[in-house]
Amino acid sequence: MNLLIIGAPGTGKGTMSELLIEKYGVIHISTGDMLRESVAAGTEVGLKAQSYMTAGLLVPDEVIHGVIVERLAKPDIDQGFLMDGYPRTLAQAADLDGILKELGKKIDCVINLELDEEVLVGRITGRRTCPQCKAIYHVVNKPPRVEGICDVCGSELVTRKDDTAESLKTRLNAYHESTRPVIEYYEKQGLVRTIDANHAPEEVFASIRKAVEEA
Ligand SMILES: [Zn+2]
């Protein structure tokens, strides 16, 4: 089973990905991880990617293409995969289809996590991070034992700059603008299963399981 997961920051994409990997034994393919692995392995594409990353530039599509081809050529891919964070654009989606076709593979289901903006803003802006040990809390969902203090190391918790409502709105707009065409692309192929992520993780995962097993 080859899956793709799409969801804005705060939709619980990371948690759902972990659950999917555990339940179906699929390989997790995240472009971020792959780029880091290629760089660490010192492969040709890795070196190319590194030159962009160290310059603080976005890694261009043709380099990502090389990384994806390299990863999908590994035999463990036959277990099925869960792709996360890719494709981000229409061009990348079409490119991925081409790569998979050559391998005799295809995407079976695209999981699209949707969350009401209000819920999302609440989840993100309530987040508090420990600058010391990186533990993450939430003022409502996962408060520390002492308000504003890290349970683990006792440091004072902070709100990350990215976690303010304003910064989130900007990120969300950019996210929706770039993701919409990708979702539409897969909708035309009848692959998209939109999941209501406004519920507790176990409920959300139950809906995902149902969608995946019916796909
Ligand atoms: Zn801490």
Rounded mean pLDDT of 94-111?
95
Q: Is 106 helix (H, G, I), strand (E, B) or coil?
A: coil
Catalytic residues: 13, 88, 127, 160, 171
Phi then psi for 40, rounded to 5 degrees?
Answer: -60, -35
Which residue, 17, 9, 52, 55, is CA-closest to 162?
A: 9
Task: Return the minimum-mean-pLDDT range out of 26-30, 95-99, 138-142, 161-165.
Answer: 161-165
CB-side neighbour CA atoms (13 Å) of 42: 0
CA distance 200 to 110: 21
Q: Considering the entire predicted model, what is its pTM?
A: 0.80
Tell me, rounded to whole angstroms, the distance of Cα 200 from its chain centroid. 19
For the chain, domains (ranges, CATH) are: 2-26+80-116+168-214 (3.40.50.300)
Confidence of residue 188 (pLDDT cuts 50, 70, 90): very high
Cα 156 to averaged position of ligand 1 atoms, centre (Å): 8
Residues 6+ apart with CB under 8 A from 80: 1, 2, 3, 24, 25, 26, 27
DSSP state of 143: -
Cα 149 to averaged position of ligand 1 atoms, centre (Å): 8
Phi then psi for 113, rounded to 5 degrees?
Answer: -85, 125
For ion ligand 1, residues whose CB falls within 5 Å: 130, 132-133, 135, 150, 152-153, 155
Cis peptide before 143 (omega within 30 of 0): no
- Which is more confident, 140 or 112? 112
**Per-residue pLDDT tens for 145-176?**
999 999 999 999 999 887 888 888 888 888 88
Cα 154 to averaged position of ligand 1 atoms, centre (Å): 6
Which residue, 204, 131, 196, is CA-closest to 163?
A: 131
Cα 171 to averaged position of ligand 1 atoms, centre (Å): 27
36 pLDDT higher than 90: no
